[in-house]
Structure 1
Amino acid sequence: MAKQDYYELLGVDRTASESELKSAFRKMAMKYHPDRNPDNPDAEKSFKEVNEAYDILKDGQKRAAYDQFGHDAFEGGMGGGRPQGFASGFSDIFDQMFGDLGGGRRSGGDGNRGSDLRYNLSISLEEAFTGRQAEVKVPTAVVCDSCDGSGAAAGSMPITCRMCQGTGRVRAQQGFFTIERTCGTCGGAGQVIENPCGKCRGTGRIQKEKNLEVNIPAGVEEGTRIRLTGEGEAGARNGPPGDLYIFLSVEEHPIFTREGGDIYCHVPLTMSLAALGGQV
């Protein structure tokens, strides 16, 4: 069953002001409140519908989306005559409507950036104070050495996507709005691979363990984070790499404890040693 129009539910015109909406909501909420209608099983349903309508119409952005797309602006599925591939959620709709305002033309390759990686490294208390060079082995995705990251088999090259003409984005007209979204044919890359590389299967990346040297400066503390720019996963099909973050944890020392920049040592003493003095 089709949902009733929100404006009709509240009994107001589509040009109603905020104060008119609020007044109509209070009137309808009082009319259908379950406590006022204990013998009417449909009252609770009507009460929820009135609340839902007011929740949408009192918000300027949500109201604009409802005026443009109706109930489809807030419901999943492909009903209501929406174009194929159109976002189902309200936030996605506004991202697509206004995502490019002030942002210029976006590059189709931005979505191919490699993932950032995290590596946990334990160091001793002495190393935390003096610093050290540490070697770490990080399992990651690196550029495929067979296709040099292109994703295409030897002797072939990716071709420009015909759907987006290499931009990685496609546009569609929706009423007064021009909506831009990621090209579904090339996934935003701007290129398609007709003959994929057999080693990386067209991704331009392979899994490999990478050896890295990390400079740990003197005076680091528990939870210190060291960023290695560009040492994360390689981007798909020559996209930019991600970053590697080294998270440091300082091991407990059997004798010394640290408080800020100071080192403390707790030494048990006998009564005579405390009274007369001596060497520990």
Structure 2
Amino acid sequence: MSLATTGHLAKILTENQEALLEGWLSTMLSRLVRRDKNAEAELRQQASRFIPLLIKALDKGSSYDIDNSNWTEVRQLLGEISAARVRQGYSPTETALFIFALKEPLFAQLRAAMADDAAALATEITETGMLFDRLGLHTIEEYQKSREQVILRQQQELMELSTPVVQLWKDVLALPLIGTLDSARTQVVMESLLQKIIDTGASIAIIDITGVPTVDTLVAQHLLKTVAAARLMGADCIISGIRPQIAQTIVHLGVNLEDVITKATLADAFLVALKRVGATVAHSA
């Protein structure tokens, strides 16, 4: 596969920038699912930046290899556009359209300029087509990378939101867990709990696993690690939400929780915690 330029593309782009820009925008806007003035203005601004950078990359060397350093600015712009499209909720197809929509008006200009040389025209259209296919694939790859980063960030935020540490009393904290407790989440749980212990000076932390669907050896180990970490910070832990089936599972697995106070409900654990810190709850008359 040839990666060498013939020089015609840069010339066509330079001499027909305005016509190409309008034709490109017309094609993009006709295929765009969401259309409003802001979207159109953004497309025009991005397209107006792209064409000069494309010309600059072509003028710098004699290669259509977009991995070449001559194409750095073009790749960076496509990365910026792809990241913006992810944040705005565009699909991969809509994002790749930014590149592929330029083919039609560009090919029309090439055919008009090189009508007298059919062989050269065929070569230029083939090479230009492959160039834009590579640019389109690069755009989709950047879109996927940006989307993965957004998903990872959202997962981290959800993980942090799903592990709130609540102060129930002056020296008593509660950490209600909902969902599966894996290694990554255990780290977040420990960090949140330890930081809250530091902030409040609490001496008791209740870890409530009522919302944890299953407890296996790994989950039990994660709980014990959290308990051990809290103890190192000067706080004892009570594990609540021990349902009959979970109790049976823990016994069957041979997990040693003998030195950890366990209770069936959060309310029971709270009463124990109050006694441990010297507080009492009395019914009003």
Relative to the length of structure 2, the TM-score reads: 0.23
Q: Which has the higher contact order (CA 8 A, sep 6+)?
A: 1
Relative to the length of structure 1, the TM-score reads: 0.23
Compare the two structures and name the one with the higher strand fraction. Answer: 1
Compare the two structures and name the one with the higher helix fraction. Answer: 2
